[in-house]
Every structure is written in C-alpha cells, then in structure tokens.
Chain A
Amino acid sequence: MQGLHMVGVRHAYGRTQVLNDISLTVPAGELVCLLGPSGCGKTTLLRIAAGMERLQGGSVTIDEQVVAAPNVQVPPEERQIGFMFQDYALFPHLSVFDNVAFGLFRLDQGAARTRAMEVLEQVGMTHHADKHPHLLSGGQQQRVALARALAPKPRLVLLDEPFAGLDTNMRARVRQQTLSVLKQTNVATLMVTHDPREAMFMADRIKVMGENGQILQSGRPEDIYYNPVEEYVARLFGPMNMIKGTVRNGALETSFGVLSVNGQDDGAAVRLLIRPEGINLSSNGDQPGDTPVEVISAHLLGDSSIVRIRIRDGINSGAEFQARIPGAFDLMGGGRTWARVDPAHVFPYPQEQ
C-alpha cells in the first residue's frame, strides 16, 4: 500500500510499557495525528516509524516495504522519510538553498538544483534562497524545514510538535501553509501533538493516546469532539462543567431540564460533562430548558468570553458553571440572564470513572 502501516507495535523502557499493541494506517495523501499528553508514548511511536528506536514487537511497513519487524530493521536513512520537528534545526552555516539541497546528494548537481528550487517554490521561499537561517523569522525557518523534508520526495513525513516553537499568529499561518503543501504533495503524514485544536485543524484522522500506551479513540476530528468515548478524551479539549446524578428513565433531571443520558442504565450513578461552549446564555429566558442564572464574572478572550454563572433555581441551585459565548458579554447591562444547555455538548460517563 502507499503509505504507512504499523501493526501491533509494543515498546517498553525497562519495565515500563510505553506502547501497548498500537496499530495505525496512514494512506498516501492523508494526515493522521497522534494526540495525547507528554509521556503517553506518541513520540516513541514516531521514532519507531522513523527507525530511530529499535522495534521490540509488531511491524512497520512503508509503501508495502517492511522496514521494521522481528529480524528486520531498515536504517532511518534508507526509509525515505522526511522529518520536521519542533527544533527544525536548519544548518546555520548553510544558505536556505543549501539546507534544502543537502538531502539531495543522490541527484546530480543540476537535478538537485532544480528539485531544491521546485520545493522552495512550493513553500513560497524562493526569494530567500540565498539567505542564512538566522535572517529568517521562525515561520520562514519552519517553511524551509518543510521544504528540506519534502525535497527528496519522501514516502512518509513525520512531524513532531512542528509548530510548538512559533507564536500564536505565526503558528496559525504556518500550519495552514504546511497542510496545503502536504496535501499537494500527496504524501502520507504522521504528526504528533499534545494540542487538540491543532490536531483538529490538521488531521484527517485523530488517534487519541492514553497514559497506558494504548489508543483510546480513533476517528475524524468531529468524532473525537462530539462523541468522546471516554471522559479522558472529552476533557482533552479543556475544562468541563459537571453534574452528578442518578439515571431515571434514560435521563437525568437537572436545572437545565431533563437531559438524555444514552447508553447508561437506569439507577446508574453518572457524571454529565458539559462543555462551556455547550451552555448558551440569553436575556429573555423564553426557551424550554432556560434556567435563571446569576452572572459571577465575565472574561473576554478576544473572539469569545468565558462567563462564570451560578444556577438560581432547581435541583442544581447554587452550582457554578462556565459558559463560553461568542464575542463579549455585557456584564454592565444588569439585566437578567438565563442559561440553556446544547445536548450536543453533553457527555454522560459512569461515576466510577
């Protein structure tokens, strides 16, 4: 197959098992993100794909060539892989052009020059070809690193937290450019990040890794965000509101009305997690499920605000929640405020979790 296929990969450091039967497929032209906290083993998996870490169990196949298996260990330089890591480590003493041409030693000089300029054109850096890296911004250096990774026409590109060193605005711009170039190139890409929003932006498929060295959930960004299979996955995207209760007739009674808790048995103790963006605020309270709230504080974040509220009535009276609303919240308006929950942002989990 065109792309990466890892099957049943296991890895331990001493007695600590860091990867536990991990399998994944990255077809040519697709980008798969490994998402998880520091220490979950995602970088180890990347290093095994690269050949920088010796395989202990399972197999790794690139474009239908087995590159790692019991008794097989193709060295990194023979795997035809492009790398882009956080510290993109351009050679400081070489020009942009020479950095990109560095990996093209198998081509004759003319062909190497043509290929280097071609890929610099792809990332929009031809006019900086003669400069040295220290004269470039972080974002420009990152684009050169991408050009260098793609120049030898790799079968696979590995990205390890590639945008972590960039400031917010630059990061947004560079990741958009990187994604465009990778898609044009039609190369299989495996990326590691601990940033769920970055994974959502970049990935065709996200694989969430847990602290036990296993993949907890695998799916489209929409699946991971709207159908998190475990509380751990739901909480990856930031702070959650929580209501505890007991299931009656497939639902939980709350101050926001009766909320459905699909998949939980009657009588079960559950925790309902509600995303802040799943609590809508209004000033008229004329919709079913609207509950009056007291606004405690509001913090403008730019494109949205975090509003802390306290429930005034009902079974959850006195409980505090966070709502995330678009734009600014008029704290000075002084009118009454109601809150309503969007069921798409409500996730029930058993309390024993």
Chain B
Amino acid sequence: MFSPILKNNKPTESFDMVEITQSFKIEVEAIDADHRRLVEIINEITDAIDDGRAEECVALVPNFVEFSQQHFEREEALLTKHAYPLAEKHRQHHVGLTDKMKTIQALSERAAHSQPAADALRKELVFILMDDVINEDLAFKSFLVKAEAEGGAG
C-alpha cells in the first residue's frame, strides 16, 4: 500500500503512494471499484507533491472530495437496498467526515508554499481513505457479500 521507503518525505523510487491490497478489499465490486478510483486520485495528488507540482493539489483535491461524496451516496443506497441494520450509523459516519474533507482542502491550498502542509496533506489523505473510509466499510463486508450473493433486496 505505502512506499516501503520514504525519506525526507519523498519516495526513493517510483512507487504508488497507496494501493488496495487484500486486507482492504470489500469484495463487492461496485465498492472496491470506487475505492480503487479514490486510490488513483490520491496517487495523482502525491505524485504532484513529489514531482514539485504541489500547486496542482488545489485542483486535484476537490476531485477526491467530490468522488468521495459520490461514493458515499452509492454505498448508502446499496446498504439501504439490502436493509443493512447499521445503515444509518454508517451514513452518520460519512457526515462526520465533512470536517476532515474541509481540512484536506485547506491543506491543498497551502501545499504549494508549505512543505509541512504538503506532508500533512499526503498523510491525511492516506489516513482518511484507509482508516476512515475503507476500515469503516469493512464492518459491513460479510453482510454485503452475502446479500449481493443472494441477489435479493434484503
């Protein structure tokens, strides 16, 4: 998932900052595909930082925020469709990420002029995706895999 070696916050070789490995797979293709797209966006942002194009972050980060929002809506619809018992709690969790999305947007505006802001942006993007988004989604993995396999509407 992460560059094995990061020195001075720059990869020593060309790695993708993030990749979805087995332990992060939900095994519901619609959701995994969304997560892969979010990973692609994060890698575009971290590439921009590493290549000295941090000024592009201000345009790239809204892609992450917007796609995250679309992903949340698709996911909530799927959970509702299958009558996941904790669907409302998961929706509230998504609402709770609003402040963190504001934080990364604020960091993106400073990234071009501040290496600490660029470093913080990189770190926060990874934590938001892996810890706040995917880890929380793993809570309904077994429920959703079973529901999708049965093909019913709960």
Chain B residues whose CB sits within 8 angstroms of the CB of A23 once the complex forms = 131, 135-136, 138-139
Instruction: Determine the distance from Cα of A25 to Cα of B24 in the docked complex, in whole angstroms.
Output: 10
0/1 per residue, A1-20, Cβ < 8 Å to B?
11101011000000000000
Chain B residues whose CB sits within 8 angstroms of the CB of A29 once the complex forms = 2, 6
Number of A-B contacts (CB under 8 A): 71
Stretch at the interface among A73-81, A145-153, A215-223, A232-240: A215-223
Offer 27 A-B interface pairs, CB within 8 angstroms, sorted by A. Answer: A1-B23, A1-B130, A8-B138, A21-B139, A23-B136, A23-B138, A23-B139, A24-B131, A24-B135, A25-B131, A27-B1, A27-B2, A27-B126, A27-B130, A28-B2, A28-B6, A30-B127, A59-B23, A64-B21, A64-B23, A66-B23, A186-B5, A220-B120, A223-B99, A223-B100, A227-B99, A229-B96
Residue of A5, A8, A218 near B24 (CB, 8 A) is: A5
Instruction: Determine the distance from Cα of A25 to Cα of B7 in the docked complex, in whole angstroms.
Output: 21
Name, among A25, A186, A227, the residue most crowded by chain B CB atoms within 10 Å (CB to CB). Answer: A25
Instruction: Determine the distance from Cα of A3 to Cα of B127 in the docked complex, in whole angstroms.
Output: 13
B contact residues vs A (CB 8 Å cutoff): 1-7, 19, 21-24, 96, 99-100, 103, 120, 123-124, 126-127, 130-132, 135-136, 138-139
Closest to A227 in B: B99
Chain B residues whose CB sits within 8 angstroms of the CB of A220 once the complex forms = 103, 120, 124
Instruction: Determine the distance from Cα of A232 to Cα of B5 in the docked complex, in whole angstroms.
Output: 38
Q: Does the CB pair B123–A3 fall under 8 Å?
A: no
A contact residues vs B (CB 8 Å cutoff): 1-3, 5, 7-8, 21, 23-25, 27-30, 59, 61, 64, 66, 186, 204-205, 218-220, 222-223, 227, 229
Chain B residues whose CB sits within 8 angstroms of the CB of A229 once the complex forms = 96
State the Cβ distance, A292 to closest chain B Cβ, in Å: 35
Residue of A3, A59, A219, A227 near B2 (CB, 8 A) is: A3
State the Cβ distance, B65 to closest chain A Cβ, in Å: 17
Known pairs A27-B1, A27-B126, A204-B127; A5 contacts B23 (CB<8 A): yes
Instruction: Determine the distance from Cα of A30 to Cα of B132 in the docked complex, in whole angstroms.
Output: 16
Q: A25-B131, A27-B127, A222-B103 are in contact. List 7 more A-B contacts (CB 8 A).
A: A5-B24, A21-B139, A23-B135, A23-B138, A25-B135, A30-B123, A229-B96
Residue of B21, B103, B120, B127 near A1 (CB, 8 A) is: B21
Closest to B142 in A: A8
Closest to A21 in B: B139
Q: Does the CB pair A218–B1 fall under 8 Å?
A: no
State the Cβ distance, A37 to closest chain B Cβ, in Å: 22
